[in-house]
Amino acid sequence: MGDIQFLAAINTSLIGHLHPLLVHLPIGIFSFAFVISLFGAEKRKQFDAALSYALLSGAVSSLLACIAGYLLAGSGEYDVDLVQKHQWTGIATCALGFLAYFIANYRRPLVWITCIVMAVAGHLGGTLTHGEDYFFGLADEETTFVEKVLDSTVKIATEAPKADSITEKAEAPREISLYQDQVVGILQSKCYTCHSKIKKKGGLRLDSEEFIKQGGKNGAVLTAGDADNSKLYTHLLLPLEDEDHMPPKGKKQLSAAEIATIHRWVKMADPFAKTTVSTTAVKITESVPQAVEPPAPVEKPVAIIPTKTISIKPADPDNIDAIKKLNVVVTPIQSGSNGLSLNFVNLKNFNSKMLDQAFVLKEQVVKLKLTNQAVTDQDLQKIRQFNNLRQLQLEKTKVTDEGMDQIKSMQSLEQLNLYGTAISDKGLEKLTGCKNLKTLFLWKTNATAEGIAKLKQALPNLTIEAGGFSFKKPDSTKK
């Protein structure tokens, strides 16, 4: 019985999630019927059979969309009142579609009414999925809140204060709230579409203090005073491809300034408390403390320009064609360069023999991406022989501390990504031999703050990004 209930739950969830796909069928079909209905009487007769077929298929597809939508609504992640309005307008669209098919004498007005009701249902569906005013909203909140005037004395700004501002008269102390004045704007523009009254993905709402403290189905998202254990902050720093990264891939991402604001807010002992200020103008420019700076949320693709000038001879075109046949993406690292980038991400059945085929390009490969493939420590014995390799991406692979014995011999390596691997402090100790290493990614590894600090001490020019914290080389120009 338990297995049957489990399978039923899976099927219900699967069918429900087909709703966004199915709902586009009646929209397109009824729109086609509407265009035909605009023709004159004589021309409509020529398309009568096509119109009948369109109405029947539109009505049937809208019925399927209604069933899937009903199952999706059962997840409880959407606003009940709005779901009901969307549900009934969807059902009305379906019913009107069938009426338009069966009642030929009134087909033209019924088609028009069907499309009008369908437009209302579509608007409500868009609101459920993308937030209020999705169709008709004109303001872009992403750019407005960054320079929003918080009150007459507090402003977020990116430029230097005006020279005459220091001559202004001091005003009486007043209270401000980092949460109300800054954080709410960020959450509203980047998070409310999935985590508010309208849609509660994962059972999480972020549209009030009460709901933020409550958390979601997966537990708390805010631990006051502890940014490293607050998902509201740490999930912003995960690579874009990570399923836990927020906002999800395809959504508006937070800027570095916004992430810094969230970090500063989460670190407060009482994030929702008000703060008293007494200065005439408070310019909030702090991102985070110097030693704890949030890394970029994603690893941005950049041209790999070796620190040392190297001469790379052109690769044999036949060798490039051979590796491309394995579905490996081969591209020049920059225009006019003989250096190559090899991307193995699209491979479904990776094995060590594929690296053997790539080995003929060991002189030309400057960037090697093996993300989420079954790469082992033994494979690193081959990879370390890629003489000009500058960037190596091993995210979510099977490499361990033992494999770092191979990495440490790669003196040309400048960027290494070990996100999601089993690397610990033991492996980090071996990386001290990589004197030219400039950037190291350690999200979701077994490395500790102590182990990272030791590596940073050994390699002071190394930037280490590990999610909750990163170490930045002190600016020697500052006194």
User: How confident is the model at residue 175, as a pLDDT?
Assistant: 67
User: How confident is the model at residue 272, as a pLDDT?
Assistant: 85
- Residue range(s) of every CATH 1.20.120 domain in the chain: 2-130
Question: What is the CATH class of 317-471?
Answer: alpha beta
Q: What is d(CA 261, CA 255) in angstroms, rounded to the nearest whole number?
A: 10
Q: For 125-234, where are the E strands, in sequence order?
A: 154-156, 174-176
Q: What is the pLDDT of residues 81-110, one digit of tens each?
A: 777 888 899 899 999 999 999 998 898 999
User: How confident is the model at residue 357, as a pLDDT?
Assistant: 83
Check: pTM over 0.85? Answer yes or no: no
Q: What is the largest CA-CA distance in the chain?
A: 86
Query: Using CA atoms in the order 74, 78, 82, 83, what is the torsion angle rounded to 10 degrees?
Result: -20
Phi first, then psi: what are they for 122, rounded to 5°?
-65, -40
Tokens of 244: 């836990």
Instruction: Please state, for a pLDDT cut of 90, what percent of the chain lies above it.
Output: 13
Q: Cis before residue 332, ω within 30 degrees of 0?
A: no
Q: Cis before residue 109, ω within 30 degrees of 0?
A: no
Residues of the chain with pLDDT under 50: 1-10, 135-170, 277-309, 469-479
Q: What is d(CA 82, CA 90) in angstroms, rounded to the nearest whole number?
A: 12
Helices (H), 388-476: 404-407, 425-430, 449-458
User: How confident is the model at residue 287, as a pLDDT?
Assistant: 39
| Contacts for 311 with CB less than 8 Å, ≥ 6 apart | none
Q: What is d(CA 394, CA 87) in angstroms, rounded to the nearest whole number?
A: 46
Q: What is the pLDDT of residues 363-410, one digit of tens each?
A: 889 999 988 888 999 999 889 888 889 999 998 899 999 999 999 888
| Contacts for 279 with CB less than 8 Å, ≥ 6 apart | 153, 170
User: How confident is the model at residue 422, as a pLDDT?
Assistant: 92
User: How confident is the model at residue 241, as a pLDDT?
Assistant: 66
Matching CATH number, 2-130, of 1.25.40, 1.20.120, 2.60.40, 3.30.420? 1.20.120
Amino acid identity of residue 241, one-letter, is E
Cα–Cα separations (whole angstroms), residue 472 to 258, 267, 459: 19, 19, 11
- Residue range(s) of every CATH 3.80.10.10 domain in the chain: 317-471
User: How confident is the model at residue 60, as a pLDDT?
Assistant: 92
Q: What is d(CA 351, CA 59) in angstroms, rounded to the nearest whole number?
A: 49
Task: Give me the half-sphere count of Cα atoms (radius 13 Å) on the Cβ side of residue 8.
Answer: 5
Q: What is the pLDDT of residues 303-355, one digit of tens each?
A: 444 444 457 888 888 888 888 888 888 888 877 778 888 888 767 788 888 88
